[in-house]
Structure 1
Amino acid sequence: MVKAEAAVLPLSGVRVVDLTRALSGPFCTMLLGDQGAEVVKIERPVVGDDTRRQSNPMVGTENSAFLAVNRNKRSVAVDLRAEAGVEVVRRLVAVSDVVVENFRPGKAEQMGLGYEQLRELNPGLVYCSISGWGSDGPYAARGGYASTAEAAGGLMSVTGERGRGPVKVGVSIVDSLTGLYAKDAITAALLARVRTGVGQKVETSLLESTVSILSMSAYAYLLGGVVAGRWGSEHQWNVPWKAFETTDGYVVVASSSEEQWRKICVGIERPDLLEDPRFTTMADRAAHREILYALLDEVFATHTTHDWVARLDAVGAAAAPVNTIDQVFADPQVLARDMLQSVEHPTLGPIAQVGHAQKLHGTPHQITLPPPLLGQHTREVLTDLGGYTPDEIDELARDGVVGVADHPAATA
């Protein structure tokens, strides 16, 4: 557990206008908020962010998908189809440091919210665009989701079991990865602004994020001419490396060296395998993987997952249980590393939140605000940052340009 005295957070004093919706953009801006940025989330009146109305499990009146990626933000409901709504955003941008948007390329410019239009108001602005395919090239205008990027970017071609069709990764990893890349680009641009005094536009896309993590599979082809395939939980070159079924679940065992192979054989009490010429080297084991895995399948089927992890851990071999999601959040290591936290929601009470993967010991991340109600902070933000009077806000609300939450949690 990381502990530190109360300190100014890394991005304290940075204000972000968040025009994003769904997952990749909101994940990016949530991470900025976790590091202390003031995030103003712009949502459509009445309907809000797309994730407020998805088919994910509901928690009271709130959607768990929205609750997953929108903490540490204030919600302002604005109709960007209205000229007066665009003006609201422009006023906020004039006093902000960062804009993040994930419209299709060209849409922001059509609304008067493109980079060139907004930097006239604010030359120091860091403007981040997130898209499916990038702002130019033959696919720029296409719609895109994480799965289409996984497919076109090659990730799906190497995901799935041998001899079977491609599958998507079990979570929206490309959305989250793209959000991470966007956050990284934003913080780098903010650092560059300290040196240059001016902002800049930064970009990332679902496709580029996917291609960037092909990693060794990319270089196996680019430098070695080998096109990787699907190997399930196995490794193409390192053997053994696989999820083995136990009496009550699965255990993953991984070996990338002869020393690790020796430890595995000791841990499973099969030292005879070390003397078998078919398994002497990694190349030998890869050449005889079917024979070896048949033998190991029989071994691991004799005990529980917990038993095997304990035995292998005792000899220094790499092994882990295949935890289900509920088991993850009961895992003592996950809990010890503060990966399960909570925050007080205005209508739901305490709600669980996934913790921070980054641990900053001097300026630790904090969850200071719960995911907001739709339009919860419209009056507060338009008054404090936009310079609107109460009467002007009331008029905008009557005209449907802005939405104001009527819950007591909303600041009047």
Structure 2
Amino acid sequence: MSESSTRTVLEAVDLDGRPTGPPGPLSGLLVADFSRVLAGPFSTQIMADLGATVIKVEAPSGDETRGWAPPERDGVSTYYLGINRNKRDVVLDFGDEEDRELAQELARRADIVIENFKPGGLRKFGLDYDSVSRTNPAVLYASISGFGSAGGASLPGYDLVVQAASGLMSLTGDPEGQAYRSGVSVFDIMTGMQATIGVLAALNHRNATGLGQHIEVNLLSTALAAMANHSSTYVAGGRIPFRMGNAHPSLFPYEPLPASDGEIVIVAANDAQFRKLASALGVSALADDPRFRTTEDRNHHRDELRPLLVEALSTRTIAEWFDILTDAGVACGPINTIDGGVALAERLGLDPVVHVGQGDAAIPMIRNAISFSLTPPRYVSPAPPLGADNDEIRAWLNTPEDSNE
């Protein structure tokens, strides 16, 4: 895409009263976002936060997460609001020839294309990688799917299905109870991050060689990689991990333990940390007990160690132990609800909440997790209404690029 074309879109943002702010690390890049729901939009929001111009393309019916409510804010799903900020929005019906040609033109001008249709689903519209790369050979084209483009190409990719099929649910929940899904769509989020990593790696390669390429990520591969030590237990150790509730298979203590008024999470991930914990609890002798001296010892004798720790913890509250253990250098934490997590981040000076938009219309949102010393993330506009930039984007796509020179 030409520099002048990028500038045209960026200047249009300013004309709408939504200043781009200081340039971000991805400023000057145009992203055509053909994705919907979670993994793709989460990836493109990261890019938008970091300065890229993201044009979200929606069918006339809109991204279905617009209607995933409650909860909602001013009639819009908070699900949708949480993953679509800083984007422009245009409605294009791929079944309509004129709209389809505009979508193809957007892909031709884009530096990056993100899509999460079923593998091969965009071919009939001339928007698959092979078609787009013929007119835009430098494009970085990222495809997100549930189970890849080979044997799993026809399978719909929902996070819950992948949590079940990957084995994660077999690891989550009470050992004597049913399997549970994670409370977060963890593999959608991780796959969105993987897509972003893949695009940035390919961008570095393109900067060196001028070559575009096709990046593919899928939920199942992400899941197996993300289960890290558990996956390795099977493929390298030949053992199938099993559900342990809140316990860790290789560390103890590394779980919630009861204080006088509830549970507090306590971590002693090595021998030095356990010695600090034992001292802070007033049971220093435990660190020299041959049953508990090393990590391996504590794992083998956790059923003997746990009641001794519980007895010591029963003398104080969660808040008291949090202060005592933190001062002693022991990792610990209360089991908060989300409001408590936000409050903790605020107390620690992380400024977790940003207000996106202007005046009374500004929407509180969670800050991008990355900090930069020179090019901080930007928070220009909340998630756009359906077709918010239709006229402007359609006019831009219908204008030959040469006229912008």
TM-score, normalised with respect to structure 1:
0.87
Structure 1: runs of 5 or more not aligned = 1-5, 389-412
User: Aligned partner of 2:392: which letter?
Assistant: E
Q: C-alpha separation between the residues in 2 aligned to 1:76 and 1:299?
A: 61
- Shift in Å, 1:339: 2.1
- Which one of the candidate residues 221, 226, 243 is aligned to 1:213? 226
Query: Any idea what the Cα deviations from partners look like across 1:166-212, whole Å, max 9, x if unmatched?
Result: 21111111111000000111111122111222211111001111011
Partners of 2:345 and 2:352 within 8 A in 1: no
2:324 and 2:330 map into 1 onto residues whose CA distance is 9
Note closer, same or farther for the CA distance 1:103–1:332 as it changes in structure 2 (3 Å cut): closer
Q: Distance in 2 between matches of 1:57 and 1:66?
A: 10
Match of 1:129, SS state, is: strand
C-alpha displacement of 1:345: 6.2
Deviations 1:1-47 (A, max 9, x none): xxxxx8531111100110100000000000010111000001122x3
Shift of 1:254: 0.8
Pairing partner for 2:137 from 123, 126, 135? 123
Amino acid at match of 1:381: I
How many Å apart are 1:335 and its aligned residue?
A: 5.8
Cα pair distance change 1:334/1:23, threshold 3 Å: farther
Q: Take 1:26 and 1:221, find their aligned partners in 2: how far apart are those partners?
A: 33
Following TM superposition, by how much is the alpha carbon of 1:308 offset from its aligned partner in structure 2, in angstroms?
1.0
Structure 2, unmatched stretches of 5+, are 1-20, 401-405
AA of the residue aligned to 1:51:
T
Q: Does 1:107 align with 2:104?
A: no
SS of structure 2 residue aligned to 1:336: coil
TM-fit CA distance, 1:334: 6.5
Partners of 2:327 and 2:67 lie apart in 1 by: 48
Query: 2:357–2:380: 8 Å Cα contact kept in structure 1?
Result: no
Question: Could you tell me how far 1:314 is from its partner in structure 2?
Answer: 1.2
Task: Tell me if the contact between 1:328 and 1:334 (Cα under 8 Å) persists in the aligned partners.
Answer: no
1:249·1:322 contact (CA, 8 Å) conserved in 2? Answer: no
Q: Does 1:61 align with 2:75?
A: yes
CA separation in 1, counterparts of 2:259 and 2:136? Answer: 60
Q: Work out whether 1:379 is the aligned partner of 2:379.
A: no
- Counterparts of 1:78 and 1:110, CA distance in 2: 15
The equivalent residue for 1:396 is none
In the alignment, does 2:346 pair up with 1:370? no
Match status 1:359 vs 2:375: no
Q: What is the letter of the counterpart of residue 212 of structure 2?
A: G
Structure 1 residue aligned with 2:335: 322
Conservation of the 8 A alpha-carbon contact between 2:57 and 2:92: yes
Q: Which amino acid aligns with 2:115?
A: E
Name the Cα RMSD after superposition: 1.9
Show the 5 A alignment for 1:176-191. 176-191=189-204
Given that 2:362 and 2:382 are in contact with CA atoms closer than 8 Å, whether structure 1 keeps it comes out as no
Q: What is aligned with 1:350?
A: 362
Aligned counterparts of 2:212 and 2:90: Cα–Cα separation in 1 = 24
1:243 positional shift: 0.8
String of CA shifts for 1:317-340, please: whole Å, max 9, x gaps: 111122210111111457612322
Report percent identity of matched pairs: 36
Find the counterpart in structure 2 of residue 155 from structure 1: 168
Amino acid at match of 1:87: E
Give 3-state SS (helix, strand or coil) of 1:120's partner.
helix
Matches of 1:162 and 1:334 in 2, distance apart? Answer: 36
Counterpart contact for 1:151–1:157, Cα < 8 Å: yes
Q: CA separation of 1:330/1:238 partners in 2, compared to 1, >3 Å: closer, same or farther?
A: same
Q: 1:288 aligns to what?
A: 301
| Deviation readout 1:214-272 (Å, 9 max, x if unpaired) | 21122222222222112222111211111123344431111121111111111112224
Q: Is the 8 A contact 1:345 1:371 kept in 2?
A: no
Alignment partner of 1:35 out of 50, 72, 78:
50
Q: CA offsets per residue over residues 31-65 of structure 1, 9 Å max, x none?
A: 010111000001122x3111101133011121100
Question: How many residues are matched?
Answer: 380
Judge conservation of contact 1:334–1:340 (CA < 8 Å) in 2.
no
1:76 aligns with 2:90: yes
Distance 2:246 2:52 in 1: 39
Measured in 1, the distance between the counterparts of 2:36 and 2:358 equals: 20
2:6 match: none
TM (norm. structure 2) is 0.89
Counterpart Cα distance in 2 of 1:52 and 1:269: 54
Which of 335, 339, 344 is matched with 1:331 structurally? 344
- Which of 17, 20, 34 lines up with 2:32 in the alignment? 17
Name the counterpart of 2:244: 231
Distance in 1 between residues matched to 2:347 and 2:376, nearest whole Å: 17
- What corresponds to 1:307 in structure 2? 320
Taking the aligned partners of 2:251 and 2:50, their CA distance within structure 1 comes to 38
Say yes or no: does 1:166 pair with 2:179: yes
